[in-house]
Every structure is written in C-alpha cells, then in structure tokens.
C-alpha cells in the first residue's frame, strides 16, 4: 500500500499535465521522420552468406569478385556456407543481410551462352542494405565474362541475378516504427522518471517523504513503477499509431503482440533505471535536460533504428553491442516485420533482461533517502 501510494501520487501529478504524455508520443515521431530523411552515406560490412554449389571457372570468378568487393570498397562481409537452407535461416534470423547461391550448372550455362542465374535471398526488411547488396552484385554479375572492366557499360544478358525477398516488403515509413518506439521509451523515461524526481527535489516536494515511515525501497519502487507505466503506455500507443498510419499489421498475431509489449515494458524499465542511476542525484533539472540530449544521441543513433549497424566503424559497432536500444530495435524489427518467434530474438531479450537487472541494482544503490 505504501508503494501504491507513491505510485498513485506520481501518476496523478503526471495526468494533470497531459502535455508530458503528448510530447512523449508526438516528439519521437516528428524527430525520427526529420532525422531519418537526412541520413545518407556508403554502406559497408554488410554480412553476406555465400553458398557455392558450382566449382567451375565462372563460379570461381564470381567468388573472386565478391572477395574484391570485401577487400576493396568493403561493401560486403562474406561468410561461406555449404547448405542453402542454413544460409536462408541465417537471413531470416538477422545473422546475414542476404544469401547468394551459385547453382551447380552456373559455369556450364555461362560457357554455353545460355541463361545463367544467381540466387539472391535478401532480408528486405532493411531495404537500404538490400538495395546496396543488389547493386554491387548486379555489377559483379554483369562483368563476369570480362577479364578487365571496360569504361563502357556491358550489355550482357546471359548472366542474371535473381533477387528473392524473404519477407513482406517494408517501405520507409513502416521501417521507422521500431525507432519511434525506442525514442518514445527514452523520452518517456526522462519525462515521467528522473526529470520529474529531480524537479520535485529541486522544488522541495520530496522533503515530505522524509517525515514519513516510507523506506527508500518503497519510494524508489513507487516512482519507478509510475514511470514504467506511463512510458509503456505511451510506447504502446506509439506502436498502434505507427501501425495505423502505415496501414500495416503485426506479423504473428497475439503471441507477437505479447512479445512486443514485453519488450516495451522491459525496455522502459531498463532505460528508466539507467537514467535514475546516472541522473538521480542531479541537483538541478537543467542538468538532466542537458545530459539527456547527449545521452539520446549516443544511444539512439548507433541503435540501428535508421542506419544499419553493420556499416558503423569498428569502434562504434563494438559500442552498439552493449547499447540497450540496439537490442530493443533488433527485437522489435524481427517481431514486427519478420514474424519472428522467441528463439529468433532470444539473444536480444537476454541482453535486455541482464541490462535491466543491472540498472535496477545500480539505481537502488544510488537512490538515497536524504536531501
């Protein structure tokens, strides 16, 4: 009951200021659309699985061109597999951006001047990466008969790359939904969590807690519970608003929706606890606002919400592996667009669970029942 009293007071205070909840929902959408349209650049290190079922001269030449793309412009990062099924499973699970299959009769068909096809199976959920891979592979296939690349555009039609999308096409607007949800989680954790707490302490409101029998655990859990509730509700509203705007549905039905809600709640709890651990002892709300802008940049943009993580420089890729927003975006994309089950997003969920537990422990240590 003591915890509920703290939580109820915090919720009532937030509900008297609907602008807070409204900004948590609207600002991420506006922010992401503007920033998302401004991102451009050359993609690099896109993971490509290659299954070579042919050992002929033209298959070897195709492999050499792939290796040149990996060593030169570094557009792709190759992984060689023996089983096409394993390669396509890797694409479905998000391990690879695409899988290239060189069929057994490829070199023979090229040598005899017949139609020779290369199978390309793409993760078209990430359309930016798909277009980049298709572009470089089309160029490699078009010049496969040539020992040297000429200045003129080749007009060969005997070698054809056959792209196959493994998932329903995801347009640009729809691809922004996971990023919008994560942005909402971050903003909600600040608006309804640590900023609210620091403001109360700055205004002297929290001094009232000191004359009550409430323990620091009850105070912390009550405030955390109210923040998680507000943030989760806002993020779920953002999810359904995004689906409504883009006229799309959730792949997988109710089980997928349950996993999405679980990811949102877990992400809200982890990010809220993280902001409390970092900023809970701030002396002025202005410090929270200043640091929040910096924290938003270093967490959101390396998350893969609007730009493939694989194309980051090595140091930034290493950081993204420990970024909770990276794992939240990855899990949301897999469930929303691929209809992934629990096994496919297990690694992301395990990371979020460990991160949330660690942040809760740090937040509890930093929370003091003092002025």
Alpha carbon distance 24, 20 (integer Å): 6
- Residue finishing a domain among 119, 139, 165: 165
**What angle is formed at CA 128 by the lines to CA 122 and CA 131, rounded to 5 degrees?**
55
29 pLDDT more than 80: no
219-to-4, 141, 194, 197 alpha-carbon distances in Å: 10, 64, 13, 11
Residue 334 near residue 252 (C-beta atoms within 8 A): no
Residue 195 near residue 186 (C-beta atoms within 8 A): no
In a shared domain, residues 158 and 176:
no
pLDDT over 90 percentage in the chain: 17
Q: For position 54, which CATH number holds?
A: 3.40.1710.10
Q: Is residue 371 a part of any domain in this protein?
A: no
Q: Which residue, chain included where needed, has tokens 């290369």? A: 118
pLDDT digits (tens, 9 = 90+) for 275-291: 888 877 777 777 777 77
Q: Is residue 211 a part of any domain in this protein?
A: yes
In a shared domain, residues 8 and 54:
no
In a shared domain, residues 333 and 207:
yes
Residue 226 near residue 295 (C-beta atoms within 8 A): no
pLDDT digits (tens, 9 = 90+) for 346-363: 999 999 999 999 988 888
Residue range 169-180: average pLDDT? 79
In a shared domain, residues 186 and 322:
yes
Task: Identify the domain containing residue 64 by its residue range.
Answer: 46-165
149 pLDDT more than 60: no
In a shared domain, residues 77 and 221:
no
In a shared domain, residues 56 and 154:
yes
pLDDT digits (tens, 9 = 90+) for 209-243: 666 666 666 777 777 888 888 889 889 998 998 88
Which positions ≥6 away from 356 have C-beta within 8 Å?
A: 266, 269, 270, 273
pLDDT digits (tens, 9 = 90+) for 51-76: 999 888 888 988 988 998 898 888 89
The token duo for 70 is: 């990996």
pLDDT at 74: 85
Number of domains observed in the structure of the chain? 2
In a shared domain, residues 246 and 161:
no
In a shared domain, residues 244 and 148:
no
- Residue finishing a domain among 165, 180, 212: 165
Grouping H, G, I as helix, E, B as strand and the rest as coil, residue 363 is helix
Residue 43 near residue 90 (C-beta atoms within 8 A): no
In a shared domain, residues 130 and 27:
no
Quickly list H helices, the chain: 2-15, 18-36, 57-71, 84-92, 106-111, 127-142, 172-175, 177-189, 195-203, 216-246, 253-279, 285-300, 314-320, 324-338, 346-366
Residue 76 near residue 66 (C-beta atoms within 8 A): yes
Q: What is the DSSP string of 2-41?
A: HHHHHHHHHHHHHHT-HHHHHHHHHHHHHHHHHHHTT---
- Residue finishing a domain among 101, 132, 165: 165
Residue range 245-250: average pLDDT? 82
291-to-43, 50, 182, 300, 347 alpha-carbon distances in Å: 30, 45, 18, 14, 30
The token duo for 186 is: 């971050």
The band of 262, judged by pLDDT with boundaries at 50, 70 and 90, is very high
Alpha carbon distance 102, 94 (integer Å): 21
pLDDT at 141: 83
167 DSSP 8-state letter: S
Residue 305 near residue 178 (C-beta atoms within 8 A): yes
Q: Is residue 287 a part of any domain in this protein?
A: yes
pLDDT digits (tens, 9 = 90+) for 87-138: 999 998 888 999 999 999 888 888 887 888 888 998 888 778 888 898 888 8
């Amino acid at each position: 009951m003591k915890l509920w009293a703290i939580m109820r007071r915090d919720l009532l205070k937030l509900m008297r200021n609907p602008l807070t909840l409204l900004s948590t929902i609207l600002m991420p959408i506006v922010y992401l659309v503007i920033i998302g349209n401004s991102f451009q650049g050359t993609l690099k290190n896109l993971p490509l699985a290659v299954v070579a079922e042919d050992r002929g001269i033209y298959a070897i030449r195709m492999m050499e061109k792939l290796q040149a793309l990996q060593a030169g412009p570094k557009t792709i990062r190759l992984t060689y597999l023996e089983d096409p099924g394993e390669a396509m499973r890797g694409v479905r699970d998000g391990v690879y951006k695409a899988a290239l299959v060189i069929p057994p009769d490829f070199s023979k068909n090229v040598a005899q001047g017949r139609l020779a096809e290369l199978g390309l199976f793409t993760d078209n959920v990430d359309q930016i990466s798909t277009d980049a891979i298709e572009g470089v592979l089309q160029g490699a296939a078009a010049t496969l008969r040539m020992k040297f690349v000429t200045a003129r555009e080749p007009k060969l039609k005997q070698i054809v790359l056959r792209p196959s999308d493994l998932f329903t096409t995801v347009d640009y607007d729809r691809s922004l939904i996971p990023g919008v949800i994560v942005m909402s989680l971050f903003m909600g954790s600040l608006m309804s969590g640590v900023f609210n707490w620091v403001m109360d302490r700055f205004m002297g409101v929290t001094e009232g807690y000191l004359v009550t029998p409430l323990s620091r655990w009850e105070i912390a859990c009550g405030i955390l519970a109210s923040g998680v509730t507000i943030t989760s509700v806002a993020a779920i509203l953002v999810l359904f608003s995004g689906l409504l705007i883009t006229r799309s549905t959730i792949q997988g039905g109710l089980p997928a929706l349950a996993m999405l809600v679980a990811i949102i709640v877990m992400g809200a709890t982890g990010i809220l606890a993280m902001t409390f651990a970092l900023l809970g002892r701030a002396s002025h709300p202005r410090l929270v606002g200043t640091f929040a802008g910096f924290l938003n940049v270093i967490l959101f943009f390396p998350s893969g919400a609007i730009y493939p993580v694989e194309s980051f420089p090595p140091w930034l890729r290493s950081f993204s592996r420990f970024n909770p927003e990276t794992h939240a975006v990855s899990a949301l994309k897999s469930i929303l667009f691929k209809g992934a089950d629990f096994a496919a997003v297990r690694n992301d969920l395990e990371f979020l669970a460990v991160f949330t537990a660690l942040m809760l422990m740090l937040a509890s240590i930093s929370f003091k029942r003092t002025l």
